[in-house]
Amino acid sequence: MLTWMQHHKKYLVITIWISVIAFVGAGFVGWGSYDFNTDRSNSIAKVGKEKISYEEFNLKYSQLFNYYSQLNNGNYTQEQAKKDGLDTLAINELIQEKLLLSYAKTLGLEVSEEEVAYDLAHQKIFHNASGVFDKKLYYSILSRNNYTSKAYEKLIHDELLLKKINMILNLQVKNEELDMFGASFLMQDRLKIQVIHASNNIVINEDELKQTWEKNKELYKTQKNYELATYFLKPNEEKIDDKELQTYYDENKNNYKDFSGKILSLEQSKNQIIKDMKLAKLKLKANENYVALRKNELSFDQNISISDADIYYPLELIQKSKEGDFIKPFKFKDGYMIAKIVKINPAQIMSFEQAKNEVKKLYIKEKTKSLLEEKAKLALENFQGIDIGTYSRDSTKTAKVGEMMNDTEFSEFLMQVFDSNKIKSYVLFDNKAVVYEIIEQTLENKNKEEIYKIIIEQSARQTKQSLLKEELLKKLIELYPIQRYYKGNTN
């Protein structure tokens, strides 16, 4: 599925810009095993001198999740995202961005504070009822989303710098290139196909399984975890009178807006206002209890153990702290929590037995793909395909294809056929391979070229820029060393 959607990006005008809207998109989730040490407590990877923070990672993941969810009419789940390796795609995109940022700085490209301020001032979500940038509202929205102004303004800075480097890479397309691309886009192939299904009965060889673990054991680590002594405070159940509620609303109503920026009425935002008022009162008490805990005048009420995947805790602060340090009151669930770091347990490589169940998943996936590819190559030598008719790059599935492929698989299949220069080959899916042969090629009616003119021009420009960027990135990898700390989910 992900491959199909990525292919379609070539033919759609799609750009995912950094935006505060991403904060309210897909919820942040636990990603799996992180690999942080003291030197990299705030980053999941490093490109040259550019670090990738886990906040950037979560934001990029949310942007991509929203994008693919929209392409699937909202039917895109976290389970599908994990299967597609969306977390790996997110970090790969961030690494590419950091490579380009590093290069932009080497070239001497800069973004001024004035440019950042101008961009920020024109983000409507931070505008008050008069349509003017509201500093108080800005800090409030960032605070509710656990973001600092410094971190957010750095995102804007990097976005503007990426725009500048992309402008340099945005070369004009020549007429000959348009003609060639148009011919490729309007080409029709008459196809014969044969579907080969993957085996569901993979026999596990213990020696091979252990070899798989040996080759990939860096992927299988226990999570770094922190043993904490905690003290939790919940708001009391006291009623807030209407006068107090009205006063608070009048003073803070700019903090309560819908996604279009319209201020919500008192009635519409009443529940959130009551919650905010109770939390404000509770914070005063939490600060008093924090002092009492430090003086041993109060005892912690629960010991817990958390990891770098427990995003509901102030991980950035905890990762910077050492054993014996106190963590000031922070919002947790419906109240405030105070914590003390009792012990820090570093991540360690799992033994073969500890990692065995996870290694089996990788082993079965690799073995299934290997056997499926062998069967596809054998079928290619003794091709027995059936004629399914003539198709262009943007064709939809016909009755001749039937149940051999679903709509998504068929779209991906066509993309790979038209992106390949082979007359006979195969396309691999998770559970099947489709072997094909092109038995005839024709050009569609030239009148169709006019219909698709804008798409062809955009696609040609994007493809040319993509190829140029791809070659540039190969060189940049040699200039700016990449260190990955986050290993990703293993399906």
pLDDT in tens, 134-178: 888 888 888 777 778 888 898 899 999 999 988 887 767 676 666
Residue pair 185/459 in contact by the 8 Å Cβ criterion: yes
Q: 309 and 223 in contact (C-beta within 8 Å)?
A: yes
The arithmetic mean of pLDDT across residues 14-33, rounded, is 35
**pLDDT range class, residue 204, cuts 50, 70, 90:** very high
The mean per-residue pLDDT over the stretch 308-330 comes to 89
Position 324 pLDDT exceeds 90? yes
For residue 200, what are its two tokens? Answer: 């569901």
Position 26 scores a pLDDT of 32
User: Which of 36-40, 216-220, 340-344 is predicted most confidently?
Assistant: 340-344
Tell me the percentage of the chain whose pLDDT exceeds 70.
Answer: 84
Q: Tell me the Cα Rg of the chain.
A: 27
End-to-end CA distance of the chain: 15
Q: Give me the pLDDT at residue 24, please.
A: 35
Tokens of 165: 């480097």
pLDDT at position 195 over 90: yes
Nearest in space to 33 (alpha carbons), one of 50, 54, 55, 6: 54
Q: What is the pLDDT of residue 275?
A: 85
Confidence of residue 449 (pLDDT cuts 50, 70, 90): low
pLDDT grade, residue 371 (50/70/90)? very high
Query: Does position 40 have pLDDT exceeding 80, yes or no?
Result: no
Residue 345: which region, alpha, beta or left (left: phi > 0; alpha: psi -120 to 50)? Answer: beta
For 191, other C-beta atoms within 10 Å of its C-beta total: 23
Q: Which of 25-39, 261-275, 348-362 has the lowest mean pLDDT?
A: 25-39
Cα separation, 1 vs 389, in Å, equals 24
Give the separation between CA 197 and CA 383, rounded to whole angstroms: 15
Q: Are 121 and 133 in contact (CB under 8 A)?
A: yes
pLDDT digits (tens, 9 = 90+) for 390-433: 998 778 899 999 999 999 999 999 989 988 889 999 999 989 99
Which among 40-49, 171-180, 326-335 has the top mean pLDDT?
Answer: 326-335
35 vs 131, more confident:
131
pLDDT > 50? residue 39: no
| Confidence band of 11 (pLDDT split at 50, 70, 90) | very low
User: Do residues 386 and 193 make contact, with C-beta atoms less than 8 angstroms apart?
Assistant: yes
- Where are the chain's structural domains? 114-161, 188-205+353-442, 222-349
Least confident of 76-85, 189-198, 397-406, 423-432: 76-85
Residue 454 has a pLDDT of: 65
Contacts of 409 by beta carbon, 8 Å cutoff, 6+ apart = 4, 429, 434
* 299 against 16, higher pLDDT: 299
Which pLDDT band holds residue 487 (cuts at 50, 70, 90)? low
What's the confidence (pLDDT) of residue 33?
A: 31
Specify the pLDDT at position 10.
37
Average pLDDT over residues 111-130: 90
Can you give the pLDDT at residue 183? 63
Would you say domain 222-349 falls under CATH 3.10.50? yes
List, for residues 220-264, the tens digit of each pLDDT value.
888 889 999 999 999 887 788 888 888 888 888 888 887 677 888
Average pLDDT over residues 306-334: 88
- Read off the pLDDT of each residue in 263-274 and give the average, rounded to a whole number: 86
User: What's the whole-model pTM score?
Assistant: 0.47
